[in-house]
Amino acid sequence: MAMSDYKEIIRQYQNKSGGIIEAYNAIQKSYGYIPEDAVAAAASAFKVPKAEAYGVATFYSYLKIGPRGRNVIRICESAPCHIAGAEEVVKTLEKELGIKMGETTADGKFSLEFTECVGQCQATPVITVNRKPYEGVSAGNVAAILAEYK
């Protein structure tokens, strides 16, 4: 993954009104997460107190300050996925990767997170890998999905 400097990314957005969230989204797209120092840099570029820049970055559940796995797997646990067997998918993912929900594999390849509805409810349960949706996931096809990222 090509990683552009967060300072350069912030510069691209700093003249845009309300651009701080756009900048955070772009930094995260490049790094996979938001480096701690990028929050301070954003605060000064967007002329808001550090507390506010931090407050914005921590408000949104898709933004994450600090390192995590290169591939972020999110499992939807909203009601339609819940009754379609999301729990089985969670168990299978935890077993395949040897980590619990909220953790990152030792090699830094995968993180497991819960999410709420991702709007792909035509075939439940649904997971996303780096925001790419996979529908109709079951214990039987988890390994094949993971193989795409190994």
**Which range touches other proteins (CB under 8 A), out of 1-9, 14-22, 92-100, 138-146?**
14-22
Residues 131-150 that bind other proteins (CB under 8 A): 131
Give the shortest CB-11-to-other proteins separation in angstroms: 16
C-alpha dihedral, 145 to 148 to 149 to 150, nearest 10°: 100
* Residues 6 or more apart in contact with residue 1 via CB below 8 angstroms: 30, 32, 70
Give the shortest CB-98-to-other proteins separation in angstroms: 26
Q: Does 122 bind other proteins (CB under 8 A)?
A: yes
Cβ proximity of 24 and 57 under 8 Å: yes
Q: Does 31 bind other proteins (CB under 8 A)?
A: no
Cα→Cα distances 1→61, 67, 94, 98, 124, Å: 23, 15, 25, 25, 30
Give the shortest CB-59-to-other proteins separation in angstroms: 4
Give the shortest CB-64-to-other proteins separation in angstroms: 10
Cβ proximity of 57 and 65 under 8 Å: yes
**Which range touches other proteins (CB under 8 A), out of 3-11, 22-30, 104-112, 139-147?**
22-30
Cβ proximity of 89 and 98 under 8 Å: no
- Rounded to whole angstroms, the Cα distance separating 104 from 57 reads 20
Binding mask 40-79 for other proteins (x = CB under 8 A): ------x-----x--xx--xxxxx-------------xxx
Q: Tell me which residues touch other proteins (CB under 8 A).
A: 17-22, 24-25, 46, 52, 55-56, 59-63, 77-80, 82-84, 115-124, 128, 131
